[in-house]
A = this chain, B = another copy of it.
Amino acid sequence: MALTHAILVTLGDESYSGYDLWKKFSQTSRYYWQASQQQIYRELGKLEKEGAIASEVVPQEGRPDKKLYRITDQGVEKLKTWLLEPAEPMAVREELLVKLIAANLVPKSVILQQIQSRLQIHSKQLLVYKTKEQEKFSDLAQLSYKQKCHYLTLRCGIRYESSWIAWCEEAIAMLS
């Protein structure tokens, strides 16, 4: 599985502490991988044991010390091997859709409110992504290969949120 690899990929660009990784995974990397703080710390422990990453304690003033992790050569090899394996589509497990199938058990307003709530969540997230698109990827012709790849992950997030928004609107129109 791939939290391991998501961490390795992130450490491939620069060093992070567990806490920094967690923030990155909750904010920036939201559109491709989600992970909790505890999961990240556990995975970092495993990766260090097997030698794919190495850590260095960085003392800080007025703050707790932090353990900065960096990827090792062995870690890079591991990544390369993994990159060649085919990537499976994510398993779909969408609670809201399961609820729709049983919607006749509760008042219509319950379901409509759930859909409305989702519409808000996705609208908010889309705005975050679109802002980032404008700020960081305004000039597409100037992008390097690496930046293009990064941009495409953001585009996937934008399409995902847009698709949900369109569905929510269709659903509200159909059920109202």
User: Which residues of A in the span 82-118 have a Cβ within 8 Å of any Cβ on B?
Assistant: 82-84, 86-106, 108, 110-111, 114, 117-118
Give A176 Cβ to nearest chain B Cβ, in Å: 11
Q: Count of chain A residues with Cβ under 8 Å from any Cβ of B?
A: 70
A110: which B residues are within 8 A, CB to CB?
83-84
Q: CA separation between A142 and B32, bound complex, in Å?
A: 40
Question: A95 contacts which chain B residues (CB < 8 A)?
Answer: 2, 5, 87-88, 90
Residues of B within 8 A of A128 (CB): none
Among residues of B, the one whose C-beta sits closest to the C-beta of A102 is B9
Nearest chain B CB to A103 CB, angstrom units = 5
Residue of B whose beta carbon sits closest to that of A171: B152
The residues of B that contact A98 with a CB separation of less than 8 Å are 2, 5-6, 9, 32-33
- A80 interface contact, C-beta 8 A: yes
- List the 7 closest A-B pairs by CB distance, nearest first: A32-B97, A163-B163, A87-B95, A87-B96, A34-B91, A9-B102, A97-B153
Q: Can you name 25 A-B residue pairings with CB atoms under 8 Å?
A: A2-B93, A2-B98, A5-B98, A9-B99, A10-B101, A32-B94, A32-B98, A33-B92, A34-B92, A76-B105, A82-B99, A83-B105, A83-B106, A84-B106, A86-B114, A87-B96, A90-B92, A90-B93, A100-B152, A145-B175, A149-B175, A152-B170, A155-B170, A159-B167, A160-B163
Chain A residues near B (Cβ < 8 Å) = 2-3, 5-6, 8-10, 12, 30-34, 76, 79-80, 82-84, 86-106, 108, 110-111, 114, 117-118, 121-122, 145-146, 148-153, 155-157, 159-160, 162-164, 166-167, 170-171, 174-175
